[in-house]
Amino acid sequence: MDVPTVRPRTEYRILGDSGIAVSSLCLGAMMFGKYGNPDHDECVAIVNRALDAGVNFIDTADQYSVGESEEIVGKAVRGRRDDVVIATKFTIPMSGRPNDRGHSRKWVIRAVEDSLRRLGTDYIDLYQAHRPDPNTGLDELLGTLSILIQQGKVRAIGSSTFPAHQIVEAQWVADRRGRERFLTEQPPYSLLARGIERDVLPVCEQYGLGVITWGPLAGGWLSGRYSRGMEQPSAPRNRNMFARYDLSRPENQRKFDTVEQIAEIARDANLTMAELSIGFALNHPAVTSVLIGPRTQAHLEDLLGVPEVRLDAETLNRLDTIAPPGFNATAADGGYQPPALADAGLRRRHGRP
Contact (CB, 8 A) for 145 and 112: no
Contact (CB, 8 A) for 188 and 157: no
Cα–Cα distance measured from residue 225 to residue 42, given in angstroms and rounded to the nearest whole number: 22
Cα–Cα distance measured from residue 266 to residue 33, given in angstroms and rounded to the nearest whole number: 32
Q: Which of 64, 189, 207, 226 is catalytic?
A: 64
- φ/ψ (deg, to 5) at 27: -80, 110
Strand partners, 223: none
Question: DSSP code of 289?
Answer: E
- Bridge-based pairing state of the strands 85-90 and 21-23: unpaired
Q: What H or E segment, with its residue span, contains residue 291?
A: strand 289-292
Cα–Cα distance measured from residue 37 to residue 32, given in angstroms and rounded to the nearest whole number: 5
User: Is 207 among the catalytic positions?
Assistant: no
Contact (CB, 8 A) for 55 and 23: yes
Work out the angle at residue 76's Cα, subtended by the Cα atoms of residues 296 and 35, and round it to the nearest 5 degrees: 45
Cα–Cα distance measured from residue 201 to residue 196, given in angstroms and rounded to the nearest whole number: 6
Cα–Cα distance measured from residue 45 to residue 161, given in angstroms and rounded to the nearest whole number: 29
Cα–Cα distance measured from residue 214 to residue 333, given in angstroms and rounded to the nearest whole number: 11
DSSP string covering 61-77: -TTGGGGHHHHHHHHHH
Contact (CB, 8 A) for 257 and 228: no
Cα–Cα distance measured from residue 202 to residue 218, given in angstroms and rounded to the nearest whole number: 22
Task: List alpha helices for 178-272, DSSP H.
Answer: 200-207, 250-268
What residues are annotated to the active site? 64
